[in-house]
Amino acid sequence: MNFIEILLSEKLKSKNPMLDIFGSDRKVLQIACQDLTNYLKVHWDLVGKEANECELVDKLEEFHSENPDELEEFINLWTGIWLKKWKERVKLLIGKDKAKRWNKVTRILNKAEPLWRKLADRTEMQEIVTSTLVKNGEICGTSILAENLLKMEIGRNKKKYTNEKEHVISVVNNSLRKARELARSKGPLIFVKVDKGYYQHSQ
């Protein structure tokens, strides 16, 4: 476990004892860790810097040794806001429940996947859109939302471009506009399909 996982696992567990952080709900911890990392990268101006993950951990450990109470208070507050957002943003689709409604979205995402994988700048593209989401107040599922916004744009974008650079600029600009709108919206944005058996087992 890394430092961020240790900090967040304790807080998530204390705020929601029903969460099986190291079992069936491990994904919740993983997404929360990614979201906190994205939030702090923006907060500490580390977006787009090489080796920003290492610098981030160094800063956190330094913060922890110098101001442990302040860090504890911040993590506590952030986790509370994040869990509230998680309940608003993530919807579980049980069995075939409403799955048809999201089939169109899934089709576009699947169509975009091969092209997305070929893009050399996809990590940087995702980081730009993620930081825009964070700057506009979104703190839950930021990496997932950023990647999906970019893929949706690629999947829907039928225009012909003279080169990859022109295509990338167009996709990023459209995704940034949608990221700002998305951050201001309410309601679920991430849909997780779970098996009925899994859901009954986790109750």
The reported pLDDT for the residue numbered 198 is: 42
The reported pLDDT for the residue numbered 96 is: 61
Structure tokens at 35: 């979201």
The reported pLDDT for the residue numbered 191 is: 80
The reported pLDDT for the residue numbered 200 is: 41
Q: Determine if the pTM surpasses 0.85.
A: yes
Tell me how far apart the alpha carbons of residues 193 and 20 are, in angstroms, rounded to a whole number: 18
Tell me how far apart the alpha carbons of residues 21 and 70 are, in angstroms, rounded to a whole number: 24
pLDDT lower than 70: segments of the chain? 1, 94-101, 158, 193-203
The reported pLDDT for the residue numbered 95 is: 61
Beta bridge partners of 192: 92
CB atoms under 10 Å from CB of 95, counted, come to 13
Q: Where would I find the H helices in the chain?
A: 3-15, 26-43, 52-66, 68-89, 103-118, 122-135, 142-156, 164-184, 196-202
The reported pLDDT for the residue numbered 193 is: 67
- Distance in Å from the first CA to the final CA of the chain: 27
Q: What is the pLDDT of residues 29-79, one digit of tens each?
A: 999 999 999 999 999 999 988 778 889 989 999 999 999 999 999 999 999
The reported pLDDT for the residue numbered 36 is: 96
Tell me how far apart the alpha carbons of residues 24 and 203 are, in angstroms, rounded to a whole number: 11
